[in-house]
Amino acid sequence: MIAIQVILVIGFIFLFWRFLANPGSHQVHAWIKILTFLFTVLAIIAVIFPDTANRLAHAVGVKTGANLLLYALTLAFIFVVINIYTRGKEDERRRVVLVRKVALLEAQLLEKNK
Amino acid sequence: MNSDTYAIIPVYNEASAVGDVIKTVKKTYKNVVCVDDGSRDNSSQAISSSGAILLRHSINLGAGAATQTGIDYALMDPKAKYFITIDADGQHDIKDAQQMLEYLIKNNLDIVLGSRFLGTAQNISTIKRLFLKLAAMFSEGTSGVVLSDPHVGLRVFNRRFAESLKLTMPGFAHASELIHRIGENNFKYAELPISVTYSDYSKAKGQSMMNAVNITVDLFHHRISKK
């Protein structure tokens, strides 16, 4: 089980820092595309050759291909959640700037018309 | 009459309380800036009929954003030297703010914060007391600034502090952000005892304990994110 444990732990830490620290950077967007592409390719391969998942699983020390898929899915899910969270925060930041600007402009306008 | 001082009041659904608060504050300070943070009740009307300067957030952003908007507005006046933030629900006593301001000027400080623990807080529940103590420990650990009551709404500060503030966390985590700013810039700060009265009304509206979880996560994200 050692190989998969190392891969998973490194995967978790990498995703966590990478994406939480640089929300919305070009690198992150590029990684999203690369990972989406990789997942699609792997999914197609797994569908056409059901045995590949099993063989890959054995190679990294996991019992069955289904387990390996679950691990990959968990990683992907965490990645998606973190991405949504950071994107939400970024949106919030922009919204704050905008709403504040409107409030200040409105107040200045009212004062001028007094 | 104290034209170099701005009282800033973030308001969210306080139509029934904010009018009286403004009236009391106006007796001492001419410049009262109220930021209606997207209230769904008649807070805006209550503010404009009381003669305070009204700023309106078209949507609710949170106490931090509202405070910062008020500060931004006050800073546009080059004569503005001192700033007071005060809660809209009437829990604070404006006399405390006056004392804090005098103390700030006399001792040449950058910011004076009120403290509910040094003073006599009425109607404060044991669980809330405990929660606030924990918050104090957390903020001391992360910012190095020693305060007995970091989440207080009553604060008095000078222009230098106001200009450096730039709160970016819209919600209640802004209290921690403000304290972090003190530590970062080595501002001279002090705490003075204040009395607070929690009416049933303000108790019902107070921060829920679960919000502490939100604040902690938001702060953590804020610290590690590079922006």
pLDDT at B200: 59
**Is A28 among the domain residues?**
yes
Shortest Cα distance from A12 to chain B (angstroms)? 16
According to DSSP, the residues that pair with B195 across neighbouring strands are none
The tally of domains found in chain B comes to 1
Give start and end residues of each alpha helix (H) in chain B.
15-28, 43-49, 63-75, 94-106, 126-143, 159-165, 174-185, 200-205, 211-224
Residue A74 lies in a domain: yes
Left, alpha or beta for A24 (phi > 0: left; psi -120 to 50: alpha)?
left
Question: For A99-108, how does the pLDDT look when each residue is reduced to its tens digit (9 = 90+)?
Answer: 999 999 998 8
**pTM for this entry:** 0.75
Whether chain A has a CB inside 8 Å of the CB on B57: the answer is yes
Q: How far apart are the first and last CA of chain B?
A: 41
CATH code, B149: 3.90.550.10
Tell me if chain B has a CB within 8 Å of the CB of A99: yes
- A34 inside domain: yes
Residues 83-122 of B with CB under 8 A from A: none
Residue from the list B65, B73, B76 with its beta carbon closest to the beta carbon of A96: B65
Q: What angle do CA A16, B215, B117 make, to 5 degrees?
A: 145
The domain in which residue B11 lies consists of: 5-224
Give the tens place of pLDDT for each residue, B37-73: 999 999 999 999 998 999 999 999 888 889 999 999 9
Residues of A with CB below 8 A from B57's CB? 99-100, 103
A49 shares contact with chain B (CB less than 8 Å): no
- For chain A, the distance separating the N- and C-terminal CA atoms, rounded to the nearest angstrom, is 75
Taking an 8 Å cut-off on Cβ atoms, the answer to whether B56 and A106 are in contact is yes
**Residues 140..179 of B with a Cβ closer than 8 Å to A: which?**
168, 170
The answer to whether residue A6 sits within a structural domain is yes
Question: What tens digit of pLDDT does each residue of A57-74 get?
Answer: 888 888 888 888 888 888
Total structural domains within chain A? 1
| Rounded distance between C-alpha atoms, residue B135 and residue B123, angstroms | 19
> What pLDDT score was predicted for residue B44?
92
Closest Cα in chain B to A105 = B55
Question: Which segments in chain A show pLDDT lower than 50?
Answer: none
Q: Is A63 helix (H, G, I), strand (E, B) or coil?
A: coil
What ipTM is given for this predicted complex? 0.73
Q: Which domain holds residue A40?
A: 2-85
How many CB contacts within 8 angstroms connect chain A with chain B?
59
Mark which residues 5-34 of A lie under 8 Å from B by CB. 17, 20-23
Report if residue A93 sits inside a domain.
no
Question: Is residue A98 situated within a structural domain?
Answer: no
Residue A70 lies in a domain: yes
